[in-house]
Copies of this chain bind each other. A is one copy, B any other.
Amino acid sequence: MRHLETFRLIAAVARAGSIRKAAEDANLTASALNRRVARFEEEFGSPIFERLPRGVRLNTVGELVLQHYLAQKSDLARLKSQIADLSGERRGHVTIACSQALLPYFLPEQVARYRHDHPGVTFSINVRDREQAEQELARFACDLALVFEPVHLVDFDVLHSVPQPVCAVLAPDHKLAEHNVLRLRDCLDHAHVAPSMRYGVRALMDLAAKQSNRALAPVVETDSFELIRHYVLHEHLVGFQIAIGLRPERGIAIRQIAEVDLPHGHLLLGQMKGRALPVAAYRFAQQVAAALDALPRAA
């Protein structure tokens, strides 16, 4: 739609950091683009860029204007989606930012199920840590976020929440695998591999360890829960992951950790606050919420 063209260019200028560079990308003269920006600022009643010697940068007002543009663009997308929907075609695209735990089982199943009913809908699934996921929501870069223990929750509209216990992952012949429920201190006494600080699992564990005057001392620290899951097979270590990312498979043992030692966290499904989602994203969110509710709860 053409009425957002000026905003689009402004966003391009903000990204490029310079009118000339942005003009090149947009197949425009720097002069023309400069005028558009200037005219916008005049009409709007306030400058939106700081003029620096080596280019321009959005000022506070500009940041707000940009946010307004993103919201408008998003609502236009929702509008089009809604119109396509009422004319019978169920198509669209859903962009999801999610924690790693959703990758192996939950999301593939959910997406496949939704696409089985609505083959016209396509998906983008991006792995993001909880901080990034929230930022992407706020930037309208994704429609939905499905994250374990988000941090800030500003601009984060919680659509659904389910408790998720942290589980221990071990080789079946690991000594601790003899017990059904593990104590946290036992896990810490053994060599363990832990996710890095920015993940919710780690945050929960650090907090719980601190309360019993202990601390994690991981032999291997990693960004990848997939690595954790595989590494425990090579060396006799204890790994950790939330329940939704784990399924009983031969060759790997999954054990609960006593709730008194390590309280469960929350897996949250959320969207940008105040935003109306496109039809496809909205429907998918409903399906996911129902599926989360149907999840077997840890005893």
Please give the residue numbers on chain A whose beta carbons come within 8 Å of chain B beta carbons, in ascending order: 1-4, 6-7, 43-46, 60-61, 64-65, 68, 71-72, 75-76, 79-80, 82-83, 86, 274-276
Contact = CB atoms under 8 A, between A and B. Distances in A.
Nearest to A82: B64
Given A68-B75, A71-B75, A75-B68, A43 B1 contact: yes
Contact of A61 (B75, B83, B274): B83
A87 to B, nearest CB: 8
A5 to B, nearest CB: 8
Contact of A64 (B45, B68, B79): B79
Nearest to A7: B3
B75 A43 contact: no
Given A61-B83, A82-B64, A44 B1 contact: yes
Given A1-B44, A64-B79, 20 more contacts: A2-B43, A3-B3, A3-B4, A3-B6, A3-B7, A45-B80, A46-B83, A60-B86, A61-B83, A61-B86, A64-B82, A65-B79, A68-B76, A68-B79, A71-B75, A72-B72, A72-B75, A274-B274, A274-B275, A274-B276
Nearest to A4: B3
A39 to B, nearest CB: 9
A97 to B, nearest CB: 21
Contacts of A75: 68, 71-72
Contacts of A83: 46, 61, 64
A7 to B, nearest CB: 8
A60 to B, nearest CB: 7
15 contacts: A1-B43, A2-B43, A3-B7, A45-B80, A46-B83, A60-B86, A64-B82, A65-B79, A68-B75, A68-B76, A68-B79, A72-B75, A274-B274, A274-B275, A274-B276
Contacts of A4: 3
A75 B64 CA distance: 11
Contacts of A60: 86
A174 B130 CA distance: 67
Contacts of A80: 45
A288 to B, nearest CB: 21
A234 to B, nearest CB: 51
Contacts of A275: 274
Counting from the closest, the 3 A-B pairs by CB-CB distance are A3-B3, A68-B79, A61-B83
